[in-house]
């Protein structure tokens, strides 16, 4: 008897700058690999040569909110076509540091750009890349690291030289956090909220519990 190939999983990590999500992405990838899965680890904006070039423009060149949104979705479309959809078709686990929820949080809530226009761009960029031409690709699970903006600001103060998003005032990140909360309320079945105001070990236990509850992992260690 031939066992069926595992289906692909698309997992995204989200949160304001300084929330600490990035430190857990490699650990989750390793937990899946230990469980016998092939993992594609990627990020947004970025993930392809073209998208990485667009990332540099976004992080360092001044532009208005509409231009920001267009640049992000252009990078996302290339990322989907070149990396995400092929990996999912192969049955891999795709883990991305940010995806579309970040656009709604940063450009929508943070910059004040029209939410409905972002939804139009979302459907344009994320439809037609998979086996079903009418499918709008969304993550199977979004792990949202929720942290008060004031705490995130303290963490960022000790970080590297900030890019033009990391350098924004605390009020901006408070608005971004509200944007994530709004997206979570719109898709509660897809989101898993992680209380990121704890030790790294305690946060990791929350993350692994989410995967265990869905039956995707039996366990894992940092």
CATH number of the domain enclosing 149? 3.40.50.300
In a domain, 172, yes or no: yes
pLDDT the model gives residue 17:
79
In a domain, 174, yes or no: yes
Determine whether the annotation assigns residue 15 to a binding site.
yes
Q: How far is CA 19 from CA 31, 177, 208, in A?
A: 21, 10, 17
Strand ranges of the sheet holding 191-195, from the earlier edge strand across to the other edge? 39-43, 93-97, 9-14, 141-146, 191-195
Report how far residue 162's alpha carbon sits from residue 170's, in angstroms, rounded to the nearest whole number.
14
pLDDT the model gives residue 39:
98
Q: Which residue range(s) make up the domain with 112? A: 12-214
In a domain, 43, yes or no: yes
Determine whether the annotation assigns residue 19 to a binding site.
yes
pLDDT the model gives residue 2:
47
Residue 172 tokens read as 């901006």
In a domain, 2, yes or no: no
In a domain, 29, yes or no: yes
**Average pLDDT, rounded, for the chain:** 90
pLDDT the model gives residue 113:
95
Residues of the chain with pLDDT under 50: 1-2, 220-222
In a domain, 5, yes or no: no
Q: Residue 123, preceding bond cis, omega within 30 degrees?
A: no
In a domain, 221, yes or no: no
Q: Do the strands 9-14 and 93-97 form a parallel or antiparallel pair, or are they unpaired? A: parallel
Determine whether the annotation assigns residue 8 to a binding site.
no
pLDDT the model gives residue 73:
97
Classify residue 152 by burial, with Cβ atoms within 10 Å: 0-12, 13-18, 19+: buried
Q: How many domains does the chain fold into? A: 1
Report how far residue 11's alpha carbon sits from residue 142's, in angstroms, rounded to the nearest whole number.
6
Determine whether the annotation assigns residue 16 to a binding site.
yes
Determine whether the annotation assigns residue 117 to a binding site.
no
Determine whether the annotation assigns residue 22 to a binding site.
yes
Determine whether the annotation assigns residue 91 to a binding site.
no
In a domain, 6, yes or no: no
Determine whether the annotation assigns residue 53 to a binding site.
no
């Amino acid at each position: 008897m031939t066992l069926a190939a595992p289906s692909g999983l698309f997992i995204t990590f989200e949160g304001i700058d300084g929330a600490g999500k990035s430190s857990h992405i490699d650990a989750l990838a390793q937990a899946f690999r230990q469980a016998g899965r092939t993992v594609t680890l990627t990020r947004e904006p970025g993930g392809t040569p073209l998208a990485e070039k667009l990332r540099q423009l976004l992080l360092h060149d001044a532009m208005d909110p509409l231009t920001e949104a267009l640049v992000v979705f252009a990078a996302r479309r290339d990322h989907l076509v070149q990396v995400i959809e092929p990996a999912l078709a192969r049955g891999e686990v795709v883990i991305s540091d940010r995806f579309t929820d970040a656009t709604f949080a940063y450009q929508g809530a943070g910059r004040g750009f029209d939410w409905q226009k972002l939804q139009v761009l979302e459907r344009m960029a994320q439809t037609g890349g998979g086996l079903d031409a009418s499918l709008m690709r969304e993550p199977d699970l979004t792990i949202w690291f929720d942290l008060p903006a004031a705490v995130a600001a303290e963490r960022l103060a000790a970080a590297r030289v900030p890019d033009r998003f990391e350098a924004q005032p605390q009020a901006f990140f408070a608005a971004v956090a509200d944007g994530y909360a709004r997206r979570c309320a719109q898709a509660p079945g897809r989101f898993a909220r992680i209380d990121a105001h704890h030790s790294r070990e305690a946060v990791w236990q929350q993350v692994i519990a989410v995967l265990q509850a869905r039956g995707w992992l039996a366990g894992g260690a940092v």
